[in-house]
Amino acid sequence: MTKLSDATREKLKGVSTPTLASALYKRGMRIQMIQDVRPLSAPKNGSMVGEAYTLRYMPAREDLNAMNVFRDHSHPQRRAIEECPPGAVLVMDSRKDPRAASAGGILVTRLMMRGVAGVVTDGGFRDSGEIAALDMPSYHNRPSAPTNLTLHQAIEINVPIGCGDAPVFPGDVIVGDADGVIVIPAHLADEIADEAVEMTAYEDFVTERVRAGAKTFGLYPPTDEANLEAFSIWRRQHGR
């Protein structure tokens, strides 16, 4: 697996998921956005970035999910909390079912303390107010108070999963912002980050122009040569 470099991580913190989605779209990748998840609190300090560490849930069979299963330190959910590497993003496949929690305040607090970069589920978190107040980005579908044992049985750690209809392989680079969460295949992370930084510069230039009254034709995309020249000057002026 290609390791996520510090340089790429920094670049990705400064770009948005729409820009990344467009860069992936150009490469024929249409389903990398984790659908229908949202941040529990407004993102700050740039986008959430980290390599995916995954947890797979299956439907919880009643006889295997008494409260005491958590006494077992090898329980996959509890292991994931203690083993997800610092700087990684824990991504949970909850089969898009938010009727029971994927995790709660204590476990997510522990992730934060361990230096994990963020947590994502296509289900829901309990103690959502507490999690929203943590200093670590979190994404889910909606709050969900019932314990995960009610519907979700943790079964595997760090295998390829689906999350919100997106494919997630361990080590893929996860980026989240106000629009949601996207999955960059690991081998593309560096080139996508570079391209997104470039695109972001042009988008910022365009936004400035549009706010100054420019029309979009010829500017976005830049079919008018004059706009590319103006952009070139703008880059120098803004050091980008």
Interface of this chain with its own copies, residues 103 to 142, rule: CB under 8 A? 104-107, 109-110, 113, 126-130, 142
Residue 45 in contact with its own copies, rule: CB under 8 A = no
Shortest spacing between CB 232 and its own copies, in angstroms: 19
8 Å CB contact between 49 and 6: no
By the 8 A CB rule, do 56 and 128 touch? no
Per DSSP, the three-state class of 8 is: helix
**Shortest distance in whole angstroms from residue 76 CB to its own copies:** 11
90 is a contact residue toward its own copies (CB under 8 A): no
Residue 184's DSSP bridge partners are 173
Nearest to 136 by CA among 207, 170, 88, 76: 88
- Report the alpha-carbon distance of residue 215 to residue 43 in Å, rounded: 31
Is residue 210 a contact residue for its own copies (CB under 8 A)?
yes
Binding flag, residue 198, its own copies (CB under 8 A): no
194 part of the interface to its own copies, by CB under 8 A: no
Distance separating alpha carbons of residues 195 and 193, to the nearest angstrom: 5
Query: In this chain, which of 7, 10, 27, 229 binds its own copies, going by CB under 8 A?
Result: 27
Residue placing its CB nearer to its own copies in the complex, 8 or 109:
109
Residue 161 found at the interface with its own copies (CB under 8 A): yes
